[in-house]
A = this chain, B = another copy of it.
Amino acid sequence: MTDVAAAAGVSQSTVSRILNRKPGAIPASRETRERVERAARELGYRPHPFARALHGAPTMLLGAVVRDITDPFFAEAIEALTIECSKRGYSVVLGHARTTADEALALAGVLEARQCDAIVLVGDFRGERRLVADLRQAPVPVVALWHGSERHDRPFPTVTVDSRAGIRAALTHLTALGHERIAYVGGALRYVILDREEAYREFLSADGVGVPAGYVRHVPNTIRGGALALAELRDLPSPPTAIVAATDVLAIGIINAALAQRIDVPADLSVVGFDDIALAAGTIPSLTTVHMPIEPMVAEGVRIAIGETDWDWAAGNDPPRVVFDPNLIVRDSTAPRR
């Protein structure tokens, strides 16, 4: 910048003023401006963001803490986050909190140095007590995306989805198709997903049917987990005619295993997923699933994080909790009971 000033024959502060001309600021003479702008262009001037940040300017860096980018759902979420951020001129710094031991790292890298203007938690971290505790006293805004419902206590603003409504939609769809023996497959450890299981239990109970023994399976959230669950369910004295999976990944595993065993999906077995990941539309049969409005949710999260909403971080108000509604996408993995 000093170079630009020298080249243009003006003072360095003039350059600063001209180059980031603020809306309502004092104008500069056209002639000087042109000279400065040309000099800047010729010298290939690039502002040095750190020097700006030193004055309290935003770093335009957003920290994202994700459990597992390898999970297609979270990959899509991060993709959406990156896009949303770049629209607003922000960049995304990737944190990582796969194991508890990594928590510290995620913090050290992303936030400890408070180089980020805000932090976005992607996924459910209620299990990571230390992470959440540290984040509570983070010097920057923290927003949680898909953080499970916290009944007693809400540490940060949260954007989430009404999982229960999604499960209800799935079950309503299946019962409308005539299914009565409907099983549930989910992961034991993921808290958000517990909501889904609860919704399943409630629905079946309300119907007066109740949950048949062995109809709730807990497996790892992988393709293989889905296959495992299917094997267990088929071993039951009275196997289900339909399965609701807590995630698409599980549902795809179930379908894959079913096809490999020559079980016809959907004729002999209906399967509903949850998340509507990109993969879900491409499988054969394509997956009936609960669509997760990833983009709007991420956009809302970013908006809160960078302070584009009413909610005032400074004031001691209760952090907002924005709940989106998922909707069922009916494709080819469900059919009337036969």
Which residues of A line the B interface, CB within 8 A? 46-51, 53-54, 59-61, 68-70, 72, 75-76, 78-79, 82-83, 85-86, 89-96, 102, 105-106, 108-110, 112-115, 222-224, 227, 253, 256-257, 259-260, 262, 278-279, 281-285
- The residues of B that contact A223 with a CB separation of less than 8 Å are 279, 282-283
Name 14 A/B residue pairs within 8 A (Cβ), A-sorted: A47-B113, A48-B114, A50-B51, A85-B109, A86-B109, A89-B108, A89-B109, A90-B109, A91-B94, A91-B110, A92-B93, A224-B281, A227-B282, A256-B283
Q: Are A76 and B86 in contact (CB under 8 A)?
A: no
Q: How far is the CA of A171 from the CA of B180 in the complex (A)?
A: 49
Q: How far is the CA of A85 from the CA of B114 in the complex (A)?
A: 18
Query: Out of B46, B48, B86, B94, which one reaches A82, CB within 8 Å?
Result: B94
- Among B102, B222, B260, the residue within 8 A (CB) of A285 is B260
Which residue of B50, B76, B94, B113 is within 8 Å of A115 (Cβ)?
Answer: B50
Q: B113 and A49: CB pair below 8 A?
A: yes
Q: Known pairs A86-B96, A259-B260, A260-B284; list 15 more (Cβ under 8 Å).
A: A46-B112, A60-B109, A68-B79, A69-B69, A69-B75, A72-B75, A78-B94, A82-B96, A86-B108, A86-B109, A90-B109, A91-B94, A92-B93, A92-B94, A93-B94
Residues of B within 8 A of A54 (CB): 48, 50-51, 54
